Structure 1
Amino acid sequence: MTASTSVAFEDPQYREAVVDLLGAIAYGEISAFERLADDAKLAPTLEDKVAMASMATAEFGHVAALNERLSQLGADPFEAMAPFREPIDRFHEYTAPDDWYEGLIKAYVGDGMANDFYREIAAYLDPDTRDLVVSALEDSGHSAFVVDRVRAAIAADPRLGGRLALWGRRLMGEALTQAQRVAADRDALSALLAGGVDRPGLDLAAIGRMFTRITERHAARMAELGLDS
């Protein structure tokens, strides 16, 4: 643990915020693994099934490092994840895909928005924790597969594009709602965003700009898929 990291964790509120954040990300990874493995059943070809299963495996592969860090901080990883089960499960319940292509959009756009939110928060963390979070949110190189499949499907059936664009907007709305709810419900995370004596923070205007950046990155992903945001 670096010197700057040690100093940061002298603040019990900061430690609580980090435990919250790592717990949220860890459960998000487990939930993504379950969902992607389930979505693989919708795959039209064996190649697609294997690609989706590989995405699921990559998500689950990040959990061990997150749980190890939680244990190092003296936290029970399962207790740290527990507060986030309901909001994350609720998001997946509200956004269950009806078909293979909706599942692809959710894997690319929905997960991308969640990762953007966590990366924004990571900017206010000590270097060691920030590096761990960024590593856990790495793409793992699967985006190209999703973009290729969605673009090919729209080229074959242009009407599909309209339906998937609507689906993408729905995902954005649900993801932003859940992200704002989590940030508001967890006092330590709210305090982390507000900053401290030795850490910069966000005022309401800055928080608004943060969500604007997340929305802009969502629009860029939709455009890469050939969809209107």
Structure 2
Amino acid sequence: MTFPMPFIVPANRPILPVTIEYAGNKASGDSGTSLTFTSVPLGAVDAKKDAFLSVHWRTNGPGGAANLTGVTLGGVSAAILQQETQDYNSGYPGCGTALVRLPASGVTAGTIVLSFDQSGTNSGVVSVYRVANAADTPVQMKKTRRGGSLGELSVTMAVPEEGAVLAQATVANNSGMTFASPVGRDYFRDSGITSLAGRHTVTVEDPSLLVKTSSGNVIFNGVLGAYVFR
């Protein structure tokens, strides 16, 4: 009598590296308690790649910054994973940033609507990323904020082997902001607010990767979010 050979996973089976692909961004100048973005590029349809939305917004006038309360893609609700806001300070408007996991859509472009808990949110930017070979939620999320004038925003992230980092930042006013190496900047927009997002992948574990904004100009009111995927 013969028996089938058991399937054994080799001990040295390679780890599939996380990949993060940038699909594109869109700006909106609506006002009130919602912002609408039409024809947002979502990237190629691929069931193996989760779609994430980097969100940036500005709230005019004195008082607290608006909080993001809802996101839809084509009328279907999305999950807000983390957000950070900075209130009006030193004559500069409030601002915010958030990471959202988008629902599966089966389309390469769509309409995204952001809802807020107060009016006065008069400008915003969204960008889409596709993540593969990772859990559908970041394994680590951090955020920070500063009011008034500041030189930089930074957090330190622990990135596992073959992992990746996604970073996002929003400031009230800064025309030269980028990310310090090794995080690469995918886009920069100065559309009522200054917003940018970028990414970095590693092959060897990095327990203390510094994610930091870098600029030759003073930053006024800023927020930063960073996310590790594995």
**TM-score over 0.5 for the pair:** no
Q: What TM-score does the superposition give when structure 2 sets the normalisation length?
A: 0.27
- Could you say which structure has the higher strand fraction? 2
Normalising to structure 1: TM-score of the pair?
0.27
Largest Rg, 1 or 2: 2
